[in-house]
Structure 1
Amino acid sequence: MKTIIIFFTLICFVYGSRRYVDNGLHPLSDEMINQINSLGTTWKAGQNFDGVSLNAVKRLLGVPSRSNKASKRPLRYIHHRNTNDLPESFDSRTKWPNCTSLTTIRDQGNCGSCWVFSAIEAMSDRLCIHGSIDVLLSTQQMVTCYGDGCQGGWPESVYGIYQEEGIVSGGLYQGGGCSPYTLPPCEHHIKGPLPTCPDTYLPAPECKKECVAGYGKTWEQDKYYGQEPYAVGYDQKQIMKEIMTNGPVSADFTVYADFPNYKSGVYQRTTYDSLGGHAIKIIGWGTENGTDYWLVANSWNDYWGDKGYFKIRRGNNECGIEDDVVAGLPKL
C-alpha cells in the first residue's frame, strides 16, 4: 500500500508541476498571452496573429486527426544501434552551412499545405547533405497535383511520390526552379509588409506538369528521386541520431490553443484545447535553462515566432511530436 501511495504521489507531482491557463480565453487574445507569461513557464508568448481570425489559423493546420492514422502510408522502422555519441546540442544549419534550404523559412500561404512543406524541406536538405545538390524541391507540384492539397494530408505521402514518381525543383513564391510556389505569401500574423491573408482559401492552382517558360529543362529531365521512406523510432536518441547522421526529419504534432502565440523559449503546452494537427521539420536539439528541446523550422514565414523557428520540449513526446517522425534518403 505504501508503494502505491508513493507511486501516485510521484504521478501527481509530475503532472501537477505543469500549470495551465484558464479555460474560455480566446487563443489569440492579449488575455491569453498575459496569462501564459504569468505562469512563469519555459517560454514567452506574444502577439503573432493580431487582427487574424482563429479560423484563419486553423486553416494552416493541414495534418488529419490522429484518429485517421489508418489512412497513412505504412512505413518500415529504422533503428540506429549506436546512440552513445550524441552531443548535448546540434544544429543542422551549423553542421551543413552550404545548404541553402537549411536556412530558408518557407511560407505555405493561405493553405493547409504544411504536410507538403514538412517533407519537401527535409528532402531538399538531404539532397544537399548527401548529394551536394543545393536545390529547393517543389512544394507546388505536391499541393496542386496530389492528395487534397490545401485541405491537408500526411508527410508520408510526399515521400512516397518522391520515391515513385520524382519531384522537380521549385522555390518560393515567384522563385526559381522548374515549378516554384504560386500561392502568394500573406500576413498570417501581426501587421507587416505582406498583404493580409484572405478569410477563405484561395482555389488550389491547376496541376501543370511542365516547367515554367524559359527554365531550360523539361519536367522529366528536372526530376529528383528518393529511396524508400522510413519511420524513426519514438525514442529521442533514435531521432537525434537520425538527424545528426542524415539530416533534418519531418514530424507532426498537435497544436494547442496557446502555440500560435509562441515567441521564444522552449514551448510546452499550457492549455487543454487543441486546434488541429501541424507538420514541421526538426533540424536539431539542445537544452535551455535546464529544459531539453527540439529545434524546429515552421512554414508560416519568418515573421512568426523566433524568425520562423521554435523550440519545443524534448523527451516527453510533447504534443505528440515524437510519435510520427519520418524521413528518406535521396536516390543519387
Structure 2
Amino acid sequence: MQYLFFFVVGLSLVGSIASSSNSIQDFVDQLLSKYDNKLDVIEKNPLLVERIYRYYQQKYPRAEQSRDFDSTILMKHKEIFKENLKMILAHNQNPQSTFKLKLNHMSDWTDEESAAIRAKIPVEPIKTMSRIGTVQQRTLTVPDTYDWRNQTRVPNAVTPIKDQRHCGSCYAFAMVGALEKTYAQIYNASGPLSAQQLIDCSYESGCEGGSFVGTFRYIKDNGDRLNLEKDYPSTPNGAKQDKCQNSSGQVLNYNQTFALQYRQLPTNNEAYMKQTVYEQGPIYVYYNAGKREGNNTVLREASTKFDHYATGIYDVPGCPTHENMNHAMVIIGYGTENGTDYWLVKNSWGASWGDNGYIKIKRNSNMCGIATWPFYAGLF
C-alpha cells in the first residue's frame, strides 16, 4: 500500500513540477526524499520511471523524437536512463563517496554516443613532445587555494563554459581554454577563442580527436593567429566543416617581443603543476575519462561516474594513469576541501554537465592520468 500511495502521489507531482525550473536530479531527489530504499521504489514503479523519463525528454529532447517513433530505439534509451538513474541513486547514498552524481543530458546516451565525445589521443606525437620544449622545476611559494575565474591579475582569463556536442573535439576546446588567458593579457578583453577554427583548420582529425602539439603547430604556422568565437562560430552540431572558413584572427604575441610558445611540465609532478597554474595560468591536461564499451569494470565505472559528476571531489580508485587517455581539459585552479586536495577543471560538455561545467578532481594522486602529460601555452 505504501508504494501504491507513492505511485499515485508521484505521478501527480511529475505533472506539477514538469513546468518548473528545477533540474531533473532535484526533482527526483525531492520525489524520493521520504524513502530509504529509493532503488526499490524505482524498481517497483515502472510507470513512475516512464513519467520521469518523459519529463527528462522535455528537458533534453533527442533527434529520434522528431522522427517517426521507433519504439525499439526509444525503449533502449529509456532502459539506459533507468540504469543510470539507479546507479546515481546508489552512489549518492554511499556515505564514503567524496562526490555526488546527477542526471544530465547524457543520461540516456548509448555507449557509442558516449565514446564519440572522447577523443582519440595520438600516441606518437606525445612521445616526441618533450624534445620540443620543457620547463625546469622551481620552488615557489603559492597560495593554498586559487581560482582563475575570481582573480584580478588578468581579468577575463576564463571564459564561459562551451559545449563540444557529439564531437570528439575536446583537444580544440582545451587549447582555446588554455590560451584565453593569453588573449586577455594582450588585449585586456574577454574573448572566447574559436575552437571551431581548430576543428576545421588544424592538422588534427576534426571530430575524431587530436593532440596538443598538432593543434599548437597549426596556430604557430598561422602566424600565432586564432579567431574569436564570434568571428568563427561553432557549427550547430559541433561537427567539422568541409574546409577551413577563415584562417585569420587575433595575434597572440607582443609584436614578437614575447612569442607564443608552450612548455611541457614534468610528468607526475603535481606540486609543480600547482606552481604553474598560479604563476602562469590555466594548463592543458590529458585525462582518462573512462569508456563504457568492453569488459573493463574500472573504465566503465570511471566513464559512467565522470559522465554524471555533480559536485564534490572526483575520485575513482584504480583509474589508469597512462593508458587509454581519451579526453583533454583545462585546469583553472586548485584547493582543498574537507582535507582532500583537488584540481579545479574546466570541461567542454556544456554547463548542464558537472558543477556548472566544472569538476573538482582529486589532486596529488595523478587521478586518471591528469598529471601524466600537462602543458602550459603562453608568452615567453
Please give the TM-score of this superposition, normalised by the length of structure 2: 0.65
- The percentage of aligned residue pairs carrying the same residue is 25
Structure 1 pair 221/57, CA: closer, same or farther in 2 (3 Å)? Answer: closer
Q: Deviations over 1:244-282 (max 9, x none)?
A: 111101101101222111100000115769986110000
CA distance in structure 1 between the partners assigned to 2:340 and 2:107 by the alignment: 29
Contact 1:60 1:110 in 2 (8 A): yes
The correspondence for 2:336, drawn from 284, 287, 294, is 287
Unmatched 5+ stretches in structure 2: 1-79, 254-258, 290-301
Contact 1:36 1:270 in 2 (8 A): no
* 2:348 equivalent in structure 1: 299
* 1:265 equivalent in structure 2: 312
* 2:139 equivalent in structure 1: 82
Contact 1:122 1:248 in 2 (8 A): yes
Highest CA radius of gyration, 1 or 2?
2
Comparing both chains, which one has the higher relative contact order based on Cα–Cα distances under 8 Å and sequence gaps of 6 or more? 1
SS in 1 for 2:158: helix
Shift of 1:209: 4.1
Structure 1 pair 154/73, CA: closer, same or farther in 2 (3 Å)? Answer: farther
Q: Pairwise CA RMSD of aligned residues?
A: 2.9
Structure 1 pair 81/71, CA: closer, same or farther in 2 (3 Å)? Answer: closer
Amino acid at match of 1:181: S
Amino acid at match of 2:91: I
* 2:234 equivalent in structure 1: 181
CA distance in structure 1 between the partners assigned to 2:234 and 2:186 by the alignment: 25
- Once the two structures are superposed, the pairs formed by residues 120-269 of structure 1 within 5 Å of their partners are 120-129=176-185, 132-146=188-202, 147-165=204-222, 166-171=224-229, 176-177=230-231, 179-184=232-237, 202=239, 204-210=240-246, 219-220=247-248, 222-224=250-252, 227-233=260-266, 234-255=268-289, 256-257=302-303, 258-269=305-316
The correspondence for 2:375, drawn from 307, 316, 326, is 326
Shift of 1:29: 1.6
Q: Deviations over 1:179-212 (max 9, x none)?
A: 1222447xxxxxxxxxxxxxxxx5x2122343xx
The correspondence for 2:170, drawn from 91, 97, 114, is 114
Amino acid at match of 2:328: A
SS in 1 for 2:207: helix
Instruction: Report which of the two has the higher share of helix.
Output: 2
SS in 1 for 2:142: coil
The correspondence for 1:35, drawn from 74, 79, 90, is 90
* 2:295 equivalent in structure 1: none
Q: How many residues align?
A: 276
Shift of 1:74: 4.5
Structure 1 pair 276/244, CA: closer, same or farther in 2 (3 Å)? Answer: closer
Greater than 6 Å deviation, 4+ residue runs: none
Contact 1:293 1:313 in 2 (8 A): yes
Please give the TM-score of this superposition, normalised by the length of structure 1: 0.74
Q: Deviations over 1:274-315 (max 9, x none)?
A: 986110000000011111000001101101110000000001
CA distance in structure 1 between the partners assigned to 2:319 and 2:88 by the alignment: 15
SS in 2 for 1:294: strand
